[in-house]
Amino acid sequence: MNERQKKFAEYYAQSGNAEQAAIEAGYSAKYARGNAHKLVAISCIAQYIRELTEKAQDERIMTARERQAVLSDIARSGEDQDRIRAIDTLNKMTGEYVTKIEGNVNAEVNNPFKDLTTEELRKLADG
């Protein structure tokens, strides 16, 4: 990929407009009008556009640390209701809450040996 193609890919990743990206990259307006779509189809350019797009999307996603910082700011300076929600969300994120699970197991287990004595069980075990 040459330098002009690289610039085209970068402009295209930003704007999504092939014709405008071609002009910005240094192609003539006449060439851009009729052939810009062909540039997008070149495999190395298409791959570079995908990489740039994925990188831009990754940069937009907040990390857990960034989310905690925003919530901490709200918890310190927001309205009372917003502060409570922010603190609650932070507590959930950091595992401050413990979920209590109770269970009641009353299932009757079918045990054919329940009425046998210890001596009878030993005789069965010895064969």
Q: CA–CA separation, 72 vs 90, rounded Å? A: 8
**Per-residue DSSP letter, 81:** H
Domains of the chain, first to last: 3-60 (1.10.10), 64-93 (no CATH)
Residues in the chain: 127
Cβ atoms within 10 Å, residue 34: 9
pLDDT digits (tens, 9 = 90+) for 58-73: 888 888 888 899 999 9
pLDDT in tens, 75-127: 999 899 999 999 999 888 887 877 777 777 766 778 888 888 999 988 888 87
pLDDT exceeds cutoff 80 at 74: yes
Q: How many CA atoms lie within 13 A of 32 on its CB side?
A: 17
Compute the distance between CA of residue 102 and CA of residue 104 in angstroms, rounded to an integer: 7
